[in-house]
Structure 1
């Protein structure tokens, strides 16, 4: 059988086995790559050429820095100070959480740690203020998703590399703008559904007086500024800068190296890089052309972006957007664009947005964290029954996917991809 077809089948098998057995898809992809190498006589150097050392440095470097800054309490205190800005206007808390989610994600760590950090802050703050904690956590995570394609994030590095491999300009800012627009529409719908303007009467304890930033936390904030300025204005490598700033902070006593290394999301990094190795085999063997031909058979010029958006969204229900959806679908964009006469950048945008905004299902990490956090609140079973919460989180995912599909069909995203 054709190697390209076999490699595609093994990619689908890796995704299915990973979901079924809760295994790391990337590690399975590395194993399948070795099996293909033995069976088809592929040189080991060709297989390992799919391992991106530059991407590894960027992902590890930036997550290492943010593990240090998160561990010393800088992010948590910054978040509390932002929430404290609303004063008595408690109905504004969800919007503050959106801005907070965007900021935490966009300045460097990306969505993976931020999607875990934001609900931990949002849910207890909302519950104590009489604001719906489910709504607040969803809106906060929509802010995280909006900042995912900031030039500083590891996810942006993945997408840039995939785009540049096809000869496209690796500029993710237009995609970020399109993501923000989608997230804002979904946020409005969520806010209306939960009647976010209504604040329950609660017995509020005395306002917590927040401490000022310590010297170590001020140095951490300065480190973030150096990272942002260096990457945005001097084209410094984000990963190398992350390692450098993180090293300086450790020397100055601002963090714990062991805890920082342990907090790096190694499972996600292995997933992204492992899938990249198998995708390289798929590319070398003509598997991408097979994927393009199969997608072309069900797409037309008008429906291409919508179908791709839905496919990316449905895939992200059961697999990682960063680790599976992006590296699987983005390489097809150029081929589809030339065959169907559509914009390759628009196809990349809907893949990234689809692989992101539909991630609220309870079977995803994001949805599971929201359910777990809300369930820990007082009288949660009476106020927020788990069965209802389960359905609502699935509904939010489908609403986000519907907004994406409509925007893709009427070519809204094309306005930003010039």
Structure 2
């Protein structure tokens, strides 16, 4: 048995054990990385540890720590009240407002994880006020970030168009953006109605309902009442200034959002230590372990050539149409657990031989691959999904995890198949 096949089977085993036993999948993945890496791949423990996502670790810790401080000192309550006034008590409009905001930010060049990291805490707070399912808020915000990421200024759009131009495929940035945006929007519409949208459309605002029962996060009922008015003080103003620094630095100047969030949180904690004292306890350490362990194993698979082995095998399939579908499926599977950016960069060149046959249109395959690799970003093992999970209310976190996992697994199958049928098989683009 080859090392690549063995390591791929190891990934399957990781999920099987984690589903059969109540053990963190991150722990199982770290064990698998150690066993496969040292026993079969000849790597040292230090080499295996290089695959741990240090940047993601800092991002998850920094962002959740900062917002824990903001929640403790009342800043989040003030932002929620301000947002409630802006949406004018329309619960059904709130998830779409975050879809639109995320799409706008990524369309003008903001990186998707940085965008959702800024938006999720406020979105989840509003979800609690209006009795909206946290899962719905997380999914629509994520899909909005995906919708804008393939613009000519978006990070995914730059990658796809650049690789296509480099391989003389004839890019069409406007059509790529339009089709991927519409694809994400369609997914968001379906998601909205599957996860409680009908109930939101039938409801008025909490103020209009007079604090009457509204649809809860778990599908039952929850009394939604107005928050006690929160006014600005020196600590909350300082925290708000920190948020502005975070948004401008991360979204406009490309400063690493994790380290910037740690710096902002540290500054607020030094200036106002009372509310920051217990905030570190609310960092989502379980999420950090879950994602960090799995990504460490996937990075091992990339180093030992398993990902390239899978992609090359697919490219050699006899039927170009079937090969195109399999490439989209690989993009979806791996992107659900690792870097979408990396998958787009790696798989697009593998499509060159298929396109050279003349049976596959370049742009159609690129659109299908783009949607397949990005619509799965809601997986709890990807950066965006992990951030949604980290910011979900603690009592709802297991429910949100299962929902994100179910949705992500469904997208692994649905996104490649539908996008392949729409953009590859007809050959119209």
Q: Is the TM-score greater than 0.5?
A: yes
Q: Give the 5 Å matches for 1:172-183.
A: 181-183=182-184
When residues 25 and 304 of structure 1 are mapped into structure 2, their CA distance, relative to the original with a 3 A threshold, is farther
Q: Give the 5 Å matches for 1:147-186.
A: 147=145, 181-186=182-187
When residues 347 and 104 of structure 1 are mapped into structure 2, their CA distance, relative to the original with a 3 A threshold, is closer
- Which secondary structure state, in structure 2, belongs to the residue aligned with residue 19 of structure 1? helix
Distance in 2 (alpha carbons) for counterparts of 1:346 and 1:36: 33
1:289 aligns with 2:311: no
1:246 CA drift (Å): 0.8
Deviations 1:251-283 (A, max 9, x none): 121664453322222222223332333223322
Preserved contact between residue 216 and residue 254 of structure 1 (Cα < 8 Å): no
The residue aligned with 2:171 is none
1:99 aligns with 2:97: yes
1:222 CA drift (Å): 0.8
The residue aligned with 2:31 is 31
Distance in 2 (alpha carbons) for counterparts of 1:252 and 1:15: 44
Distance in 1 (alpha carbons) for counterparts of 2:117 and 2:76: 15
Preserved contact between residue 47 and residue 281 of structure 1 (Cα < 8 Å): yes
The residue aligned with 1:336 is 350
1:294 CA drift (Å): 4.6
Q: Give the 5 Å matches for 1:157-306.
A: 181-189=182-190, 195=198, 197-199=201-203, 204=210, 210-253=229-272, 256-296=275-315
Choose the corresponding residue for 2:373, options 315, 331, 351: 351
- Which secondary structure state, in structure 1, belongs to the residue aligned with residue 23 of structure 2? coil
Unaligned runs of 5+ in 1: 127-132, 374-389, 413-418
The residue aligned with 1:143 is 141
When residues 301 and 254 of structure 1 are mapped into structure 2, their CA distance, relative to the original with a 3 A threshold, is farther
Q: TM-score, normalised by structure 1?
A: 0.64
Distance in 1 (alpha carbons) for counterparts of 2:65 and 2:318: 42
Distance in 2 (alpha carbons) for counterparts of 1:178 and 1:214: 46
- Which secondary structure state, in structure 1, belongs to the residue aligned with residue 272 of structure 2? coil
Unaligned runs of 5+ in 2: 167-173, 212-224, 356-361, 397-401, 425-429
Q: TM-score, normalised by structure 2?
A: 0.63
Distance in 2 (alpha carbons) for counterparts of 1:293 and 1:181: 30
Instruction: Single out whichever of 93-102 and 202-211 deviates more from structure 2.
Output: 202-211
- Which secondary structure state, in structure 1, belongs to the residue aligned with residue 278 of structure 2? helix
Distance in 2 (alpha carbons) for counterparts of 1:266 and 1:6: 30
Distance in 2 (alpha carbons) for counterparts of 1:7 and 1:191: 38
Deviations 1:129-179 (A, max 9, x none): xxxx56x9736741354247999xxxx99x99x99xx9x99xxxx999987
When residues 250 and 324 of structure 1 are mapped into structure 2, their CA distance, relative to the original with a 3 A threshold, is same
When residues 100 and 53 of structure 1 are mapped into structure 2, their CA distance, relative to the original with a 3 A threshold, is closer
Preserved contact between residue 29 and residue 277 of structure 1 (Cα < 8 Å): yes
- Which secondary structure state, in structure 2, belongs to the residue aligned with residue 235 of structure 1? coil
1:219 CA drift (Å): 1.5
The RMSD of aligned alpha carbons is: 5.2
When residues 102 and 121 of structure 1 are mapped into structure 2, their CA distance, relative to the original with a 3 A threshold, is same
1:230 CA drift (Å): 1.9
Distance in 2 (alpha carbons) for counterparts of 1:276 and 1:246: 26
The residue aligned with 1:12 is 12
Preserved contact between residue 18 and residue 25 of structure 1 (Cα < 8 Å): yes
Distance in 2 (alpha carbons) for counterparts of 1:358 and 1:236: 24
Preserved contact between residue 82 and residue 100 of structure 1 (Cα < 8 Å): no
Distance in 2 (alpha carbons) for counterparts of 1:226 and 1:137: 28
Preserved contact between residue 68 and residue 246 of structure 1 (Cα < 8 Å): yes
Instruction: Single out whichever of 333-342 and 247-256 deviates more from structure 2.
Output: 333-342
Preserved contact between residue 26 and residue 271 of structure 1 (Cα < 8 Å): yes
Preserved contact between residue 98 and residue 140 of structure 1 (Cα < 8 Å): no
When residues 58 and 43 of structure 1 are mapped into structure 2, their CA distance, relative to the original with a 3 A threshold, is same
Number of residue-to-residue matches in the alignment: 362
Distance in 1 (alpha carbons) for counterparts of 2:68 and 2:270: 15
Distance in 2 (alpha carbons) for counterparts of 1:394 and 1:34: 28
Distance in 1 (alpha carbons) for counterparts of 2:135 and 2:349: 38
Distance in 2 (alpha carbons) for counterparts of 1:76 and 1:182: 34
1:125 aligns with 2:144: no
Distance in 2 (alpha carbons) for counterparts of 1:339 and 1:191: 39
The residue aligned with 1:80 is 81
